[in-house]
Structure 1
Amino acid sequence: MDYQSDFEKWKERIEARPLAEVKLPNQPIDEVTASAETLAIEAIKDKDEFTKAGMDITIIEDIPSLSGAVRYCQAEWMSEYLARQDAQKEWLEKSPFAYQQHDELLHNFKFAYRNDPDILTKVMRINNGNGHVDMVQDLIELAVLGEKNPKPLREIGYKTTGLKDIKTLSHNMAELLASSNGSTNDSSKVKLLRDKAFTLLSERVSIIREYGRYLFWKDNSRREKYYNNYKG
């Protein structure tokens, strides 16, 4: 069974986990899942002892598929996280050009429409703001304004055919900015699923370890198999 199938098997139970009960991983997920899978291999050898002690053996049997679900959620979260990192890098590379075009538009528009109070007022209104979102919006609004009032721009030698490119630039930068901002760690639904899946796995691992230490308290070699090698 692949990790996505594992996730589909656990999806409803993962999503249903109350937010108040969610635990955050304090070790790398690959270490956590590998440890859980190794624990399950050891515990299944002692399934008769666990059953006699009153533990539901399905807790052990759950581990492989639940661990796979955790791995799947982690991969999805890392894909989202890395995509945002790439977008942020691309924004840093491309935004200086967008800001340059923004400033040149304003410079040309203020001069071209200097004798038209109504249009100049619109230009100044568009320029009333700051920040990335405002810059992206200014580009599209200025381009539309210029297309509707091309004559003064042409009179000062401004090539209005380039306004189409400005509209495309605004659209592209808006998409890039959205990807760059993305979901923060605290708001990402994908990360929350990962944390919920980890919580389910962590709980089962803790139960197995607890029973194992109880059962093999006089058998040092077996008892060691049930001690935590991470804080889960």
Structure 2
Amino acid sequence: MSDSFFETHLATLEAIPENSTRRSIPVVVYTQEAETLYHWAIQDADALQSVGLTLEFIESLPVRVRLLREAEARWQLEYRANKAATAEWVAQSPLAYELRDNLLRAFRYAFRKEEGLLQRVADIADGSSHADMIQDLALLAALGEQQRTQLEAINFDITHLQQAATQAETMASLLARSSGDKLEGNPGKILRDKAYVYLQEAVDEIRECGKYVFYANDARLKGYTSGYFRKHKKSTNTEEESVSA
């Protein structure tokens, strides 16, 4: 699907409330069921239109299916990239913490007779979050550059200052990207869920119409129920349940 197609319908998706609920059927299954429903409903178009369902509404199903598939693809790409960043963070963060701790130890010794500098080091060391650690590296690199003479006096490896500055940038990027894999509040996931709801609106309406029209025709009625729930031996009540997120 082209980006222009998705962007054309983006406003429609964004207008859907974020707290809308969607069923727990996997996206790949739900889109296939919706596509099957479309072909089934087209065969019954005259009967469905006779009770108020429009052909235009039925024809909207393929569009909604395409939108959900694209939104899901975009979310999965983002999610996988963020998961990779999380794995990289897990691998690299212990080394970043170790570098920060080594800098603090060296600075405390180098500045042991300078109360003002010791207080600056103490202020930098305050805080225990990942973000604090990253900020510590950046601040220690800057402070170290200002006090190179005192650090050289204790035979401190000055290259660690540039290493700290570089590490701060690297870890900040990793933290931002790894934090993106949290489900709640992620824009990509929110948009995917809205696309699901947008498809669900049409699926529900068409199925309800089909059940009404073909209540006495088992051969046609079966096309207006979920094969996923039939396969998992769900009751009619379970089929109509919705779940959030």
TM-score, scaled relative to structure 2: 0.88
* Residue of structure 2 equivalent to 1:14: 13
Aligned residue pairs total: 230
Contact 1:36 1:205 in 2 (8 A): yes
Rounded to whole Å, the distance in 1 between the matches of 2:140 and 2:15 is 48
Deviations 1:120-171 (A, max 9, x none): 1111221122121111111111111110011111011112233112101111
Contact 2:141 2:164 in 1 (8 A): yes
Rounded to whole Å, the distance in 2 between the matches of 1:209 and 1:187 is 31
Contact 1:33 1:67 in 2 (8 A): yes
Q: Which moved more, 1:211-220 or 1:97-106?
A: 211-220
Query: Compared with structure 1, are the counterparts of its residues 3 and 62 closer, same or farther at alpha carbon in structure 2 (3 Å cutoff)?
Result: farther
Query: Compared with structure 1, are the counterparts of its residues 23 and 3 closer, same or farther at alpha carbon in structure 2 (3 Å cutoff)?
Result: farther
Deviations 1:80-107 (A, max 9, x none): 2222211111011001111111111111
Match of 1:138 among 136, 139, 160: 136
Rounded to whole Å, the distance in 1 between the matches of 2:209 and 2:129 is 57
Give the drift of 1:36. Answer: 0.2
Contact 1:84 1:181 in 2 (8 A): yes
Rounded to whole Å, the distance in 1 between the matches of 2:4 and 2:37 is 22
Contact 1:44 1:60 in 2 (8 A): yes
User: Which one-letter code corresponds to 1:19 in the other structure?
Assistant: E
Match of 2:47 among 46, 49, 54: 49
RMSD, aligned CA: 1.6
User: Which one-letter code corresponds to 1:165 in the other structure?
Assistant: Q
Contact 1:3 1:71 in 2 (8 A): no
Task: State yes or no: 1:200 paired with 2:198.
Answer: yes
Contact 1:6 1:65 in 2 (8 A): no
User: Which one-letter code corresponds to 1:138 in the other structure?
Assistant: D
Rounded to whole Å, the distance in 1 between the matches of 2:8 and 2:139 is 49
User: Which one-letter code corresponds to 1:49 in the other structure?
Assistant: A
Q: Which moved more, 1:87-96 or 1:180-189?
A: 180-189
Contact 1:102 1:139 in 2 (8 A): yes
Rounded to whole Å, the distance in 2 between the matches of 1:181 and 1:193 is 18
Query: Compared with structure 1, are the counterparts of its residues 7 and 60 closer, same or farther at alpha carbon in structure 2 (3 Å cutoff)?
Result: same
SS, match of residue 74 in structure 2: helix
* Residue of structure 1 equivalent to 2:234: none
* Residue of structure 1 equivalent to 2:243: none
* Residue of structure 2 equivalent to 1:82: 80
Rounded to whole Å, the distance in 1 between the matches of 2:156 and 2:45 is 81
User: Which one-letter code corresponds to 1:124 in the other structure?
Assistant: A
Rounded to whole Å, the distance in 2 between the matches of 1:221 and 1:4 is 40
* Residue of structure 2 equivalent to 1:35: 33
* Residue of structure 2 equivalent to 1:190: 188
TM-score, scaled relative to structure 1: 0.93
SS, match of residue 129 in structure 1: coil
Query: Compared with structure 1, are the counterparts of its residues 71 and 202 closer, same or farther at alpha carbon in structure 2 (3 Å cutoff)?
Result: same
Rounded to whole Å, the distance in 2 between the matches of 1:4 and 1:215 is 38
Give the drift of 1:5. Answer: 4.8
Rounded to whole Å, the distance in 1 between the matches of 2:171 and 2:7 is 36
Task: State yes or no: 1:162 paired with 2:187.
Answer: no
SS, match of residue 9 in structure 2: helix
User: Which one-letter code corresponds to 1:13 in the other structure?
Assistant: T
Contact 1:150 1:160 in 2 (8 A): yes
Give the drift of 1:30. Answer: 0.5
Rounded to whole Å, the distance in 2 between the matches of 1:175 and 1:86 is 13
Q: Identity over aligned residues, as a percent?
A: 36
Give the drift of 1:183. Answer: 5.9
